[in-house]
Amino acid sequence: MLNLRIVAAALVLIPVVFAAEAAAMHSRSGGEDWNAIHRQMGATGKNGYRPMTSRAYQSSARFHSRALNSYGTECQQVPPETAKEHLTQIQTNVAAVKKEIKKIDSETAAKAGIEENVAAIMKQLAECEKMCGMAEKAIAGEKVENVAVCAHCTSIEKQLAAIRKEEDAMLKKLGVEIPDEHADHKDHEHEAKK
């Protein structure tokens, strides 16, 4: 009879222990399991911040910046159409990163403790926009000012690298893991619905 009471008490306590642990995990992570939300939806926060999309736009902006910089250092005269084409892509991708980061609402940022990360990224994006404006002026004439364009592209790349580092720190706080961009593609692991 005593053994039966002990077993019954243990059965009552097990759910209580698990509930307490779940509550503790919930409060340690700022009240949300951001990684679980991300794994389910590919996005997180109220407005659907998509870190892999942000990363893709950043990479694209960096590649176009590198291409334009390479033209400026390798060619005696960069054709204005080529310079404009790459600069337009940089501007488009920087604007897309900014739009994605703006999806992180203040409530989510506060809960997750990432307000400083978001502010730093927005500041770095503003610097990218400023450098794009300066590069645009260096391209506006009949001849592209190679030295100026290269200097602006170098600054843009540095800002994009800083954004990447800041976003990585932010994702770490959120507990969100995204695949390395150089990793091999994986097959879809979920069974297809029949």
- Give me the residue spans of the domains in the chain: 1-31, 49-174
Q: Which two tokens stand for residue 54?
A: 């942000």
> Can you read off the two tokens belonging to residue 115?
């307000």
What is the chain's pLDDT, residue by residue, as a tens digit (194 residues)?
555 555 454 444 444 443 334 333 333 444 466 555 555 455 677 788 899 999 999 999 999 999 999 999 999 999 999 999 999 999 999 999 999 999 998 988 998 899 999 999 999 999 999 999 999 999 998 899 999 999 999 999 999 999 999 999 999 998 887 766 655 656 656 554 44
pTM here?
A: 0.76
Label residue 1 exposed, middle or buried (CB < 10 Å: 0-12, 13-18, 19+). Answer: exposed
Which candidate, 96, 32, 25, places its Cα nearest to that of 60? 96
pLDDT the model gives residue 27: 37
* Residue linked to tokens 């409060």: 27
What is the SS3 assignment for 38?
helix
DSSP string covering 104-171: S-HHHHHHHT-HHHHHHHHHHHHHHHHHHHHHHHHHSSSS--HHHHHHHHHHHHHHHHHHHHHHHHHH
Predicted confidence at residue 14, as pLDDT, reads 46
Its CATH class, for the domain covering 49-174, is: mainly alpha
Residue 152 is predicted with a pLDDT of 97
According to the model, what pLDDT value does residue 83 have? 96
What's the rounded Cα separation, in Å, for the pair 12 and 10?
Answer: 5
Burial class of residue 23, CB neighbours in 10 A (0-12, 13-18, 19+): exposed
Question: Quick one: pLDDT at residue 66?
Answer: 97
Helix 51-74 vs helix 80-101: angle between axes, to the nearest 10 degrees?
Answer: 160
